[in-house]
Chains A and B, each alone.
Chain A
């Protein structure tokens, strides 16, 4: 069975400083992993996904994530936070049947001016 754990429920950074949102996964086979972002009162938008190609995945808005099999991690990073990055971020692993997604509990990112 697959599962995903987001290690921080809330992260606060200052504008212009790096962002690190941590995610560990558990999967009995080679997983597909996603990061989605949810801005307040909005739907979810795909930031990036890992599908067993390159381990360093680049996404939209300057975000990237590195798949580390030995550490079962898929942490999301951005070199310099922007005020518009304030949102809820979800790490997601895909099940192997019917496209089912298993969501982490989310990390709320706050960006201070």
Chain B
């Protein structure tokens, strides 16, 4: 049982390049989330999904896209990378979206855009 896994761990992009951050969970959770963490700040929600085929915007969705074709996977796509997207990205999952549910986090992807 690996929990939530993310790849890659580190990546350096040039301005204007694109990339996909991968996230997989093996806990059969319905809800999945993408957050970004900027230095000295808490996490901010980018996108979330309540199940396969259903996604919605979070607090800071601009510059990102997501899809959810399976329960297990929730990739995050960066189009036309900008320096403002330099951050640490965390994927998380929970069984349901109730306020009391615990979210389980992956180890993160550290992205630098130069």
Residues on A facing B (Cβ under 8 Å):
9, 31-32, 34, 36, 41-46, 49, 51, 90, 92, 94-101, 103-106
In the complex, given contacts A41-B108, A51-B99, A94-B100, what are 4 additional A-B residue pairs having Cβ atoms less than 8 angstroms apart?
A98-B56, A99-B94, A99-B103, A101-B45
- The residues of B that contact A100 with a CB separation of less than 8 Å are 45, 48, 58
Contact with A along B33-66 (1 / 0, CB 8 A): 1000000111111001010000010100000000
Residues on B facing A (Cβ under 8 Å):
4, 31, 33, 40-45, 48, 50, 56, 58, 90, 92, 94, 96-108
- Complex contact A49–B97 (CB within 8 A): no
Chain B nearest CB: distance from A76 CB in Å? 15
- Complex contact B42–A98 (CB within 8 A): no
- The residues of B that contact A31 with a CB separation of less than 8 Å are 99
**Which of these, B43, B48, B105, B106, contacts A99 with CB under 8 Å?**
B48
**Which of these, B44, B96, B108, contacts A43 with CB under 8 Å?**
B108
Bound-complex Cα distance A96 to B100 (A): 9
- The residues of B that contact A36 with a CB separation of less than 8 Å are 105
- Complex contact B42–A105 (CB within 8 A): yes
- Name which residue of chain B comes closest to A4, CB basis: B42
Bound-complex Cα distance A104 to B41 (A): 8
> 6 closest Cβ contacts across the A-B interface?
A103-B42, A99-B97, A94-B99, A51-B100, A43-B105, A44-B105
- Complex contact A42–B100 (CB within 8 A): no
